[in-house]
Amino acid sequence: MKKFLEEFKAFAMRGNVVDMAVGVIIGAAFGKVVTAVIEIFLNPILEALPKMETGGTGFAGSIISFLAVLVEFLLTAFVLFLIVKAMNEAKKRFVKEPPKKVTVKTCPFCKSEINIDATRCPFCTSELK
């Protein structure tokens, strides 16, 4: 049972699971903000448009509902794009990745990529220094 709990703890604390949980929570909160912006600012403008039927239902009401959902989607996608872009910029500035180890070199004779430790090119069989 102890090993099972240790495995569960390792699973739950992995970066992907925690990141996903944070994303879901922030996404729900952000969805409320976008919905409020739509209801407060955009719906009054869309509802002020001339209606095809009296009472604001029917075809005109359907168009307004569709436009509200479409604008909400576009706003959500745009703001998420901005957030991801900002996070990527912050990662570039503050998180330094170690330099990648060079594992290949180019043969000076045939210009093929070969192992860095090779003393002879496997393609043109030229001897390398």
pLDDT score, position 46:
65
Do 20 and 64 lie in a common domain?
yes
Q: Residue 120 carries which DSSP code?
A: B
User: Are 74 and 29 members of one domain?
Assistant: yes
pLDDT at 52: 47
Find the CATH number of the domain harbouring 77.
1.10.1200
* Total structural domains within the chain: 2
* One domain, residues 103 and 90: no
Domain extent for 88: 2-94
This prediction's pTM = 0.38
CA distance 73 to 16: 25
DSSP for 95-119 reads: -PPPPPPP-EEE-TTT--EEETT-S
> Same domain for 20 and 50?
yes
Please give the pLDDT value at position 49: 64
Together in a domain, 30 and 82: yes
Residue 63 pairs with which residues in a beta bridge? none
3-state secondary structure 12-53: HCCHHHHHHHHHHHHHHHHHHHHHHHHHHHHHHHHHCCCCCC
Query: Tokens 């912050």 — which residue?
Result: 90
- Residue 55 is predicted with a pLDDT of 47
Res 23: pLDDT: 84
Per-residue model confidence as pLDDT tens for the chain (129 residues)? 889 988 887 777 776 777 787 788 888 887 787 777 777 876 777 677 665 444 456 676 778 777 777 877 787 778 778 877 887 888 888 877 788 888 899 999 999 999 999 999 999 998 887
Position 110 scores a pLDDT of 93
- Same-domain pairing of 65 and 27: yes
Residues 56 and 36 in one domain: yes
Same domain, 69 and 125: no
* Residues 68 and 124 occupy one common structural domain: no
**Short-list 48, 98, 43, 51, CA closest to 70:** 43
Based on the domain organization, do 111 and 128 belong to the same domain? yes
Regarding whether 42 and 15 lie in a shared domain, the answer is: yes
